[in-house]
């Protein structure tokens, strides 16, 4: 794609990066075939190719309009288009740059601005999020169905976290909402890794990865979260922690990008790059330890019964929803599925498994209509193979899908940890 960026933009690091990305797009339109918003709306401007044109116009100093802002807002940042694109267009990075520019020029309605400010203040802050959720859960029975659906029921209490006893140690990110919404995910990861010779530890001062704030176009605020986490993790890295384990794939995508986000910060660039190199999704860690896992599970693998099994003792049937942040953002495919099969589960088929469930960070709140349409399609696809349980790898997807399904929806590590506990 030929570009002619406005001088004021072209001289910035973001402008240079956007120019490089735009020039890789050859307009072929293959990406439109896998774009969820194009499938729903049928408007070229709600497709990756259309949005790329809009961003090009923005960068050339035109199209500072509410209409451009709307089409960029409607994008889920699911990055399915990146997986499909034969030219390697880094659409996710481009749309972040485009949104940042349009938001600087186009003022949002006051109610919309307040909603975004509230999300930036509450979601990454557990001392605010936790009590507000508790109040919502108490009032849940009295809320109208459309709001009730958005307030998740209280989940099971957190199980035990084993004391660190192994020489192999890895850091885990607790994150912001996950400990409140599904408090046993990280303890389950710690129990499972403990069985295979790895102690999982937390850095007390670490918190939200910054993704929520970053994708709401408060990118400078997000950098503050990133620097705080790096400061919290660094002493553990220097003390020999092997890896930084992500149990939420959305956070993993963000932390793997710290090196890029802080590349122009001389005080943090090198550390951020190292942090990103050490960051692994939990499925990458467990898959690398498959032999140790199979040994730890050998007794339960020989008798494939669990609370999820049918009375005939058949394998428990699981539908796996691979979050966009896992399959497109991190390009990790097939690892969780292989681990579930190795642990004695039967995977049920899931049509259109490349499509987003509609959670997409704060998208379910900011674009509720499109989000609900995607949720209905996703739940129908997940339930079509008659599973007993749905598994996923990201807290946002987990709570969103649970809001639309009567089946239990769990993190895959909880299913594996249950298996080891039998």
Residue nearer to ligand SF4 on the CB measure, 81 or 181: 81
Q: Does 89 bind ligand SF4 (CB under 6 A)?
A: yes
Which of these ranges, 33-41, 215-223, 310-318, 414-422, lies near ligand SF4 under the rule CB under 6 A? 33-41
Count CA within 13 A, CB hemisphere, residue 109. Answer: 5
- Quote the least distance from Cβ 416 to ligand SF4, whole Å: 30
Determine which residue in the list 36, 358, 361, 387 makes contact with ligand SF4, applying CB under 6 A: 36
Tell me the per-residue interface mask from 284 to 323 with ligand SF4, x by CB under 6 A, - otherwise: ----------------------------------------
- Structural element, H or E, at residue 130: helix 126-139
| The total number of residues written for the chain in this structure | 422
Q: Which of residues 57-76 bind ligand SF4 (CB under 6 A)?
A: 75-76
Determine which residue in the list 18, 25, 97, 255 makes contact with ligand SF4, applying CB under 6 A: 25
Q: Does 27 bind ligand SF4 (CB under 6 A)?
A: yes
Residue nearer to ligand SF4 on the CB measure, 22 or 198: 22
Residue nearer to ligand SF4 on the CB measure, 101 or 189: 101
- Quote the least distance from Cβ 34 to ligand SF4, whole Å: 6
Q: Kindly give the interhelix angle for 290-302 and 412-421, rounded to the nearest 10 degrees.
A: 60
CB atoms within 10 A of CB 50: 18
Residue nearer to ligand SF4 on the CB measure, 39 or 125: 39
- Quote the least distance from Cβ 98 to ligand SF4, whole Å: 11
CB atoms within 10 A of CB 127: 7
Distance from the Cα of residue 326 to its chain's centroid: 7
Q: Which two tokens mark 62?
A: 């035109």
Encode 15-39: b = buried (16+ Cβ within 10 Å), e = exposed.
Answer: bebbbebbeebeeeeebbebbbbbb
Reduce the DSSP state of residue 103 to 3 states and report it.
helix
Determine which residue in the list 77, 306, 325, 371 makes contact with ligand SF4, applying CB under 6 A: 77
CA distance 382 to 353: 9
Size of the site for ligand SF4 (CB under 6 A): 25
Q: Does 26 bind ligand SF4 (CB under 6 A)?
A: yes
Strands ordered across the beta sheet of 279-281: 199-202, 169-172, 244-246, 279-281
CA distance 88 to 109: 36
Residue nearer to ligand SF4 on the CB measure, 35 or 182: 35
Q: Which residues bind ligand SF4 (CB under 6 A)?
A: 25-31, 35-37, 48-49, 51-52, 75-81, 85, 87, 89, 91
């Amino acid at each position: 794609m030929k570009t002619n960026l406005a001088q004021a933009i072209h001289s910035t690091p973001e402008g240079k990066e956007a120019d490089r990305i735009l020039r890789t797009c050859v307009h072929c339109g293959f990406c439109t075939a896998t774009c969820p918003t194009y499938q729903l709306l049928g408007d070229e401007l709600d497709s990756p190719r259309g949005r790329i044109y809009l961003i090009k116009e923005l960068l050339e100093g035109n199209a500072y309009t509410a209409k451009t802002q709307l089409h960029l807002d409607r994008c889920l940042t699911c990055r399915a288009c990146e997986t499909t694109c034969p030219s390697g267009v880094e659409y996710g990075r481009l749309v972040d740059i485009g949104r940042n520019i349009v938001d600087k020029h186009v003022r949002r309605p006051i109610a919309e601005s307040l909603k975004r400010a509230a999300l930036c203040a509450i979601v990454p802050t557990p001392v605010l999020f936790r009590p507000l959720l508790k109040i919502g859960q108490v009032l849940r029975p009295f809320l109208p169905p459309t709001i009730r659906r958005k307030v998740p029921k209280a989940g099971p209490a957190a199980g035990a976290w084993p004391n660190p006893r192994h020489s192999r140690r890895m850091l885990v990110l607790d994150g912001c909402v996950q400990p409140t919404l599904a408090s046993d995910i990280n303890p389950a990861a710690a129990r499972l890794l403990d069985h295979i010779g790895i102690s999982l530890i937390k850095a007390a001062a670490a918190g939200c990865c910054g993704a929520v704030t970053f994708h709401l176009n408060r990118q400078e605020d997000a950098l503050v979260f990133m620097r705080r986490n790096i400061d919290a993790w660094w002493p553990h890295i220097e003390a020999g922690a092997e890896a930084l384990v992500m149990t939420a794939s959305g956070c993993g995508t963000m932390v793997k990008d710290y090196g890029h986000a802080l590349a122009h910060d001389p005080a943090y660039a090198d550390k951020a790059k190292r942090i990103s190199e050490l960051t692994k999704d939990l499925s990458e860690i467990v898959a690398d330890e498959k032999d140790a896992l199979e040994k730890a599970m050998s007794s339960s693998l020989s008798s494939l019964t669990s609370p999820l099994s049918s009375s005939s003792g058949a394998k428990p049937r699981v539908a796996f929803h691979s979050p966009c942040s896992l399959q497109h953002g991190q390009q990790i495919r097939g690892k969780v599925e292989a681990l579930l099969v190795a642990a004695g589960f039967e995977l049920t088929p899931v049509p259109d498994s490349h499509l987003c469930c509609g959670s997409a960070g704060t998208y379910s709140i900011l674009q509720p209509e499109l989000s609900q349409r995607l949720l209905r399609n996703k739940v129908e696809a997940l339930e079509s193979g008659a599973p007993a349980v749905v598994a996923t790898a990201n807290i946002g997807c987990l709570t969103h899908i649970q809001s639309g399904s009567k089946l239990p929806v769990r993190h895959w590590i909880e299913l594996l940890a249950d298996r080891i506990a039998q």
